[in-house]
Amino acid sequence: MAASPRAPVAATLFAVVAFLMTRCAVAEPPPSERSALLAFLTATRQHERRSLGWDASAPTCGWAGVTCDAANSTVVAVRLPGVGIAGAIPRGTLGRLANLRVLSLRANRVVGTIPGDLLRLPRLRALYLQQNLLSGATILTRIARLGGGLERLVLSRNNLSGHIPSALGNLTALQVVRLDGNRLSGSIPSMILAGLAVFNVSNNDLSGSIPKSFARFPPDSFAGNRHLCGDPLPPCGGSRL
């Protein structure tokens, strides 16, 4: 019952071909994610000649600043710091990256607000949008409605105005909140964020006494607000010398 001597050879050849086929068929995120990324870039780099090398014929997961999951089946992070992005983030672009966890667009010229679809992404963990031209009073209010998952919120050095909403206290996973260098006004609401390790609201226009739950942060977390007082800053109502 000797098998034909060719059978093992055929099996080996089949295995090699199958292996090569899986290597060549590069896994890709769904076309909707690819087109969402291209639409974002088209809308925000119209005045910029330098290319990011997002070659439509190359695999999406190989594009500069784009990170996929282990199986290359979905985009999980977009990091494009200081690449000359200019303009507002259009609705229906980054907001279509359903599994996005990390977005960094720091040190660009992103203007206006953050579209609602982006702020509804259920897996968003980190938002690094410092050193841009984001403005208005609604961004923080809408971020506060994100749900529980956000861990890092960095909006330093933008043009945000309005109050810090107390609803931010609903984001119980927050570890880092940096809002320094904006035009925020009003008082700091009392919030219990047990996991918060970094909190910085320096260089705004905040006033009133610092809630007890924030007294554990250093004075320079609050510096540059002329009307803010209380621990760790000097006491309210003048010092009793």
Ligand X SMILES: *[C@@H]1O[C@H](CO)[C@@H](O)[C@H](O)[C@H]1NC(C)=O
164's CB contacts (< 8 A; 6+ apart) are 140, 179, 184, 186, 188, 189, 201, 206
The nearest distance, CB 195 to ligand X, in angstroms, is 16
Residues contributing to the site for ligand X (CB under 6 A): 26-27, 59, 61-62, 71-72, 133, 135-136, 145, 159, 161, 166-167, 169-170, 180-181, 198, 200, 202-203, 218, 220-221
Contact call for residues 38 and 54 (beta carbons, < 8 A): yes
Q: Residue 205's closest CA among 186, 177, 190?
A: 186
Of 44 and 203, nearer to ligand X (C-beta) is: 203
Of 16 and 192, nearer to ligand X (C-beta) is: 192
The nearest distance, CB 103 to ligand X, in angstroms, is 20
Tokens (6 digits) for 47: 């005045």
Of 92 and 170, nearer to ligand X (C-beta) is: 170
The nearest distance, CB 201 to ligand X, in angstroms, is 8
Whole-angstrom CA distances from 52 to 72, 81, 86, 215, 217 are 20, 12, 14, 44, 39
Of 59 and 81, nearer to ligand X (C-beta) is: 59
The nearest distance, CB 184 to ligand X, in angstroms, is 11
Of 133 and 173, nearer to ligand X (C-beta) is: 133
The nearest distance, CB 165 to ligand X, in angstroms, is 8
Q: Residue 160's closest CA among 114, 118, 100, 102?
A: 114
The nearest distance, CB 8 to ligand X, in angstroms, is 29
The nearest distance, CB 240 to ligand X, in angstroms, is 27
Of 92 and 176, nearer to ligand X (C-beta) is: 176
Of 9 and 18, nearer to ligand X (C-beta) is: 18
